[in-house]
Chains A and B, each alone.
Chain A
């Protein structure tokens, strides 16, 4: 599903951030990406999201080599990924429904289908009945579930989460992780960047550890 082969990323000012990173995530696999801040976690995620391009090596996503993707095709490729952020990144001037519906509207779904899908996913993440509220009226845990709903509503084959539980207490974090495991069961690949060691150890999933730009599987 997601494969890194000897990927290097170098910034002009900071030098090598990723050095020869290789790993392979199978379809329906959950993996944690961990490491100290500055170890290259966000850079790795940016390479997957095509916010950055690697200097050398290959990245394959769902059978496509990312370095071969033209700029104009990036939007269509991003529809195959669901992104979840530490700070949720919701649009505060739009309702929960509109936030979650955004990927569907972009992908060109009609009104009826959008409504049906959004209702279904909101129910799944436990936010049924709150679709007309605005994000700031919800708690942190609820906002993150909106973020997750938005990431998965279009059924992408891979979910990439950047510190999804960073702002949540352990109980809520656990709950969010259970949601991810639920997606895993239907064949979705999940990559979670996190430094919550305690949580990672409890979950017993594959761990990819970045140290000074090199990757170690634990």
Chain B
């Protein structure tokens, strides 16, 4: 098409005038003034568009409210998933204390040799802490287990070996690391056998991995929902203001000039939705707090419901506002490129 047009224009005999220089058009880009003046004017335009878009939102309170509530629910869902994960990780963290490894030493190993072994183990970077339980301490511990205590008293000699209890580092992050540690411990000649509830730990780790993956997948979906909900709202707004856009285009507005207030509308919608979502999540938490604390009391009582931190709350609102801005950005430029004044 372009080729054809050019070809035909060549046939026309018109005195050739110089082809317009690029600069000629550019000179008209902005009115006079220094670069600093232009920057100030540009900044003022943005501030104006920022407030203007807020004002426009207020002019259609019902429509704006519907969009904001729908967005807020999506974002609140994402926020709740995050809280669920945070709290789940807390529970898992509590369980971590039971992920200790017990080394039952051979019978001929006395307490002094056990302490020497403990000192070498402390140097292992994979180990968090080491504790030696002597035969006597073992016996005392044994007695606390009800009827077993009586049984051990009946024996003349203390049959219990010296035990070294080891707390590994980062137990939940890398189960390969623990396995290697256990294997090296098994190979020590002082050690009779090593006991650790590996299967249990592995299950927990697997569950955590699933939960994390689920969290990422769901939040990605919800992010897209936010993008499209805002995009659609802004699209409707663009359609409603078709006439205004056309007039502005005819008096020489660039697409970015027209787009700016719409993009800021997206920002405001996302911002308010983020704030509302925070309150929804807070409400959920408040209603859950009492039953969870009651449940926790039935166990060790060391679990407390965690709420979004200040940083997480700010992140929630910022993510909501930026996703919403992005959604409107995509729609506005797509639509503006398509609309031409009629």
Contacts and interface: CB of A to CB of B under 8 A. Distances in A.
Interface of A: 3, 5-6, 49, 51, 53, 55-58, 60, 63-65, 67-69, 73, 75-80, 83, 89-91, 102-111, 113, 150, 154
Contacts of A90: 247
Contact of B247 (A89, A110, A113): A89
30 contacts: A5-B12, A5-B14, A49-B341, A56-B8, A56-B9, A63-B17, A64-B20, A64-B24, A65-B17, A67-B9, A68-B19, A69-B25, A73-B25, A75-B253, A76-B25, A77-B252, A78-B250, A80-B28, A83-B251, A91-B247, A102-B251, A106-B251, A107-B30, A107-B31, A107-B252, A108-B38, A109-B41, A110-B37, A113-B31, A150-B251
A103 B252 CA distance: 7
Contacts of B24: 63-64
B214 interface: no
A91 B247 CA distance: 8
Interface of B: 5, 8-9, 11-12, 14, 17-20, 24-26, 28-31, 33, 37-38, 40-42, 44-45, 243-244, 247-255, 257, 340-342
Contacts of B340: 51
Given A76-B252, A83-B250, A110-B37, A104 B31 contact: yes
A109 B31 contact: yes
A91 B244 contact: yes
B252 A68 contact: no
Interface of B (DSSP majority class): helix
Nearest to A49: B250
A76 to B, nearest CB: 5
Contacts of B29: 76, 108
Contacts of A154: 252
A45 to B, nearest CB: 11
Given A49-B250, A55-B5, A56-B9, A79 B28 contact: yes
B33 A110 contact: yes
Given A51-B341, A63-B20, A103 B12 contact: no
Nearest to B337: A71
Contacts of B253: 75, 106
B31 A75 contact: no
